[in-house]
Structure 1
Amino acid sequence: MHQFMDENGKKVKMAFEQGAFQQESYHVLVLCRYNGEWLLTRHKKRGLEFPGGKREKGETTEDAAIRETFEETGGVIHAPQFIGEYKVYGEEPFVKTIFFATVTELVEKDDYMETDGAVLWKGSFSEIVDDPAFSFIMKDQVVERSIKRVADLGIMT
């Protein structure tokens, strides 16, 4: 299990096993690839980030990953692959499940919820630390370690 402080100064613990925490996950983060590029979304307040969000009542985390990716980017994914989980400790600690998915289709939509839709990106995440265009969510070890895990598993397309 890895432990570090996030961009907001909160303690984060991260694991590559399901159920590593004594708390159920109600949030998802989806690392997406489309035609050899990363599929991000531009959150209206936070900036560029991977799609994700909260589970709705009756949803599995996999269902939430599929829905959130489509809502925020128009990206169609099937069978997102579990990568890991992380817990953010604060006033109300929460667990977020991390998935990897290959986008099979990118649909143009009229509404992308709280985002401005899809952004395709080819850069290196190691170079975004000082870039204000990127969300704080992208700048801690969660994304870095998750991408390394995806590469180690050989599932990145």
Structure 2
Amino acid sequence: MHQFTDENGKNVELSFNQGYFNQESHHVLVLCRYSGKWVLTRHKKRGLEFPGGKREKGETIEEAAIRETFEETGGVIKDPLFIGEYKVYGHTPFVKTIFFATMIELIAKDDYMETEGAVLWSSDFSRIQDDPSFSFIMKDQVVELALRRVAHLDLMT
């Protein structure tokens, strides 16, 4: 388990064990690849980040990952792979599930909800800390450690 403080000063715990927090996850973060590149989305307020969001009533957490990815990027994924979960301690603590997925198709859409659609990223993420075009979500240890886990599991090939 990893502990740190995020960009907003909130305590965060990250685990690569499913169900570690004994609190149901209602949020997803999806680390996606398409044609050898990372798939980000440009949130209209926060900036560049991986797709994600909240689970809707009656949805499984995997279904939420599939839907959120499509809504925000036009990307079609199947069978998202569990990578980890993290808990953010604030006024109302919440748990977010991290998935990895390879997109099988990227479809142009007229509406990407609160985002501006897919952004294909071929660089690493080592120089984004001071880049204001990236969301705060990308700048804490969750993404860094989850990307290391994806590489360790050799999922990018």
Q: Which amino acid aligns with 2:67?
A: R
Task: Measure the CA separation in 2 of the matches of 1:152 and 1:133.
Answer: 28
The equivalent of 2:101 in structure 1 is 101
Task: Please state whether the residue corresponding to 1:126 is helix, strand or coil.
Answer: coil
Percent pairwise identity = 76
Q: Which residue of 2 aligns with 1:17?
A: 17
Give 2:153's aligned amino acid: L
Supply the distance in 1 between the matched residues of 2:121 and 2:22 (Cα, whole angstroms).
Answer: 35
Corresponding position of 1:127:
127
Gaps of 5+ in 2: none
Q: How much is the aligned-residue C-alpha RMSD, in angstroms? A: 0.5
Aligned length: 157
Q: Any stretches of 5+ residues in structure 1 without a counterpart?
A: none
Residue pairs, 1:47-126, within 5 angstroms? 47-126=47-126
| 3-state SS, counterpart of residue 53 of structure 1 | strand
- Report the 3-state secondary structure (helix = DSSP H, G, I; strand = E; otherwise coil) of the residue aligned with 1:127: coil
CA shift at 1:22, angstroms? 2.0
SS at match of 2:17: coil
Code of the residue aligned with 1:97 in structure 2: it is T
Letter in 2 for 1:68: E
1:33-87 per-residue CA deviation (whole Å, 9 max, x = no partner) reads: 0001000000000000000000000111100000000000000000000000000
Paired residue type of 1:64: A
Q: Is 1:138 aligned to 2:133, yes or no?
A: no
Q: TM-score, normalised by structure 1?
A: 0.99
In the alignment, the residues of structure 2 paired with residue 52 and residue 144 of structure 1 have an alpha-carbon distance, to the nearest angstrom, of 16
Cα offset, 1:126, TM superposition: 1.5
Name the SS of the counterpart of 1:71 in structure 2. Answer: helix
Q: Which runs of 4+ in 1 moved over 3 A?
A: none
Kindly state the Cα deviation for residue 91 of structure 1 after the two structures are TM-superposed: 0.2
The Cα shift of 1:152 comes to 0.6
Distance apart, 1:27 and its partner CA: 0.1
